[in-house]
A and B are shown apart, each in its own frame.
Chain A
Amino acid sequence: MRPLLLVLLALLLLAPLFLPPFYITLLNFVAFGSLVALGLYLLTGMAGMTSFGQAAFMGLAAYATALLTTKMGLSPWLTLPIGLLFAGVGALVLGGLTVRLKGHYLPLSTIAWQMALFIVLGSWTALTGGHTGLPDLPAVSIMGFSFRTEDSFYYLSWAFALLAAWGAANLTGSRVGRALRALRGDAVAAASFGVHPPSLKLQVFLLAALLAGLAGWLYAHFLRFVNPSPFGLEASIKYLIMAVVGGIGSIPGVFLGASLITGLEEWLKDILPKVFGRTGNYEVIAYGLVLVVILILAPRGLWPFLERYLPHPTPRRPQGMGLPARQVQGLEVPKGEVILEVERLSKAFGGLLAVCDLSFQLRRGEVLGLIGPNGAGKSTCFNLITGVHAPTKGQVRFKGQAISGLAPFTVHEKGIGRTFQHPHLFPEMTVLENAALGTYARTRAGMLSCLLGTNRREEAAALSEAYRALERVGLAELAHHKAGGLALGQQRLLEIARALASSPEVLLLDEPAAGLRAAEKLELARLIRRLAAEGITVLLVDHDMDLVMGLVDRVVVMHYGEKLAEGTPREVQKNPKVIEAYLGQEVA
Chain B
Amino acid sequence: MDWTIFSFLLADGLQNGTIYALLALCLVLVFAVTRVILVPLGELLMFAPLSYALLLQGQFPGTAWLSAAMLVAWALLDRNRLRLALALLLLAGVVLGLAYWGSHGAPGWVAWLLAVLIVLPMGPATYRLFFEPLPHGTVLVYLILAVGLHFVYQGLGLVFFGPEQYRPPALLSGEASLGTVPLPRQVFVVYAFAFLAMLGLYLFFTRSLYGKALRACAVNRLGARISGINPSEAGRVAFLLATAIAAVSGMLIAPLVNAAYFMGFLLGLKGFVAGILGGLISYPMAVGGALVVGLLESYSSFTASAYKEAIVFALLLPVLFWRSLRTLELGGEEE
Contacts and interface: CB of A to CB of B under 8 A. Distances in A.
Contacts of A113: 313, 316
Interface residues of B, number: 48
B145 A291 contact: yes
A176 B304 CA distance: 45
Interface string B112-148: 0000000000000000001001100011110111011
B174 interface: no
Contacts of A555: none
Contacts of B327: 100-101
Contacts of A97: 317, 320-321, 324
Contacts of A48: 138, 140
Interface in A269-291: 276, 280-285, 287-291
Contacts of B310: 115-117, 119-120, 123
Contacts of B156: 285
Contact of B154 (A244, A284, A291): A284
A99 interface: yes
A98 B279 CA distance: 13
Contacts of B151: 234, 237, 284-285, 287-288, 291
B257 interface: no
A455 interface: no
B320 A295 contact: no
B31 to A, nearest CB: 9
Interface string A368-412: 000000000000000000001000000000000000000110000
A408 B328 CA distance: 13
Contact of A102 (B145, B163, B273, B334): B334
Interface residues of A, number: 61
A511 to B, nearest CB: 22
B141 A299 contact: yes
A100 B333 CA distance: 10
Contacts of B152: 284-285, 288-289, 292
B273 A112 contact: yes
Main DSSP-derived SS at the B contact region? helix
Given A116-B313, A120-B307, A98 B324 contact: yes
A545 interface: no
Interface in B295-335: 306-307, 309-310, 313-314, 316-317, 320-321, 323-324, 327, 329-334
Given A107-B140, A111-B269, A299-B134, A284 B333 contact: no
Nearest to A238: B151
A101 B144 contact: no
Contact of B323 (A101, A111, A115, A241): A101
Interface string A308-326: 0000000000000000000
A102 B147 CA distance: 19
Nearest to A189: B333
A348 interface: no
A110 to B, nearest CB: 10
Q: Quick one: which of A100, A115, A198 has the most chain B CB within 10 A?
A: A100
A187 B329 CA distance: 10
A27 B37 CA distance: 35
B276 A187 contact: no
A234 B133 CA distance: 26
B272 interface: yes
B276 A50 contact: no
B144 A408 contact: no
Interface string A182-206: 0100111001000001100100000
Interface in A140-197: 183, 186-188, 191, 197
Given A112-B313, A115-B313, A291 B144 contact: yes
Nearest to B315: A112
Contact of A281 (B149, B158, B307, B331): B158
Contacts of A104: 37, 139-140, 143, 280, 332
Given A98-B320, A104-B139, A113-B313, A276 B159 contact: yes
Given A108-B276, A116-B310, 12 more contacts: A50-B140, A103-B140, A107-B140, A107-B143, A112-B269, A113-B316, A120-B307, A197-B331, A285-B156, A288-B155, A295-B144, A296-B133
CB-based closest 6 A-B pairs: A288-B151, A197-B331, A285-B155, A291-B148, A288-B152, A103-B332
